[in-house]
Amino acid sequence: MLKLDRVSKSFSTFQAVKSVSLTINQGEIHGIIGASGAGKSTLLRLMNLLEVPDEGEVEVNGQRLTRMNRKKLRQARKSIGMIFQHFNLVANKTVYDNVVVPLELANYPRAERRSRVMECLQFVGLDSLVDKYPSQLSGGQKQRVAIARALANKPQILLCDEPTSALDPSTTADILTVLQNINKSLGVTIVIVSHEMEVIRSICNRVTVMADGEIYDTVICKPTGILSKENSPEYFVEQLTKDVEIDHA
């Protein structure tokens, strides 16, 4: 459903992605992992043309994004949502106003916007925080708002760039559960870039390993499942003191 055909991207003289071909299958959770600088984020950003390839083609549902004019590309991009490590919420807009933005840009019927925003916020469990500002939310709540915003236009594909890298282990597990629900109950195909092996192994069916701007390998995986993480103070003290003789301060 999403196909990269020999895409390359350079930043001045540095080639970040080198003639990569990759197909993302409908309904899968596809992980992309590799060392820092391997080109993971650039590859992800090429999938919705946030980065325009120097060479090669990007195709979604048989339509070449790389051949579209601006208007058609804007239309096609509605089927591809994206979330980021640092959430990218607008600080001076409320939760509601952040989530409604893509609906405004897409000329979604005015009368139906509120119910669609609330539907998306309910899906991520945040409808009670609709009037808060980003600064009043935790990291996990901010990522949920970003997910609600990405879902607003009912995308078929959700691109996730290090979605849990700014979060603690317990919140990471919560966000991964939300992403898995989006895949299972809404049928959204997910591509997730992460440098955290545990994150990738927990939910991905197929994983691409990148090195030096190229695909090193793509492997089929059996997701290990999301381990719920303890975050009680007792657990932290237990972990800190379990193998060593330590005095409490």
Residue ranges that bind ligand ATP, judged by CB under 6 A: 11, 14, 16, 34, 36-42, 195
> In the bound complex, what is the minimum distance in angstroms from residue 30's beta carbon to ligand ATP?
15
> In the bound complex, what is the minimum distance in angstroms from residue 243's beta carbon to ligand ATP?
31
Closer to ligand ATP by Cβ: residue 27 or 56: 56
> In the bound complex, what is the minimum distance in angstroms from residue 43's beta carbon to ligand ATP?
7
Q: Which positions ≥6 away from 89 have C-beta within 8 Å?
A: 98, 134, 142, 145, 146, 149
> In the bound complex, what is the minimum distance in angstroms from residue 17's beta carbon to ligand ATP?
7
Whether the CB-CB separation of 121 and 130 falls below 8 Å is answered with yes
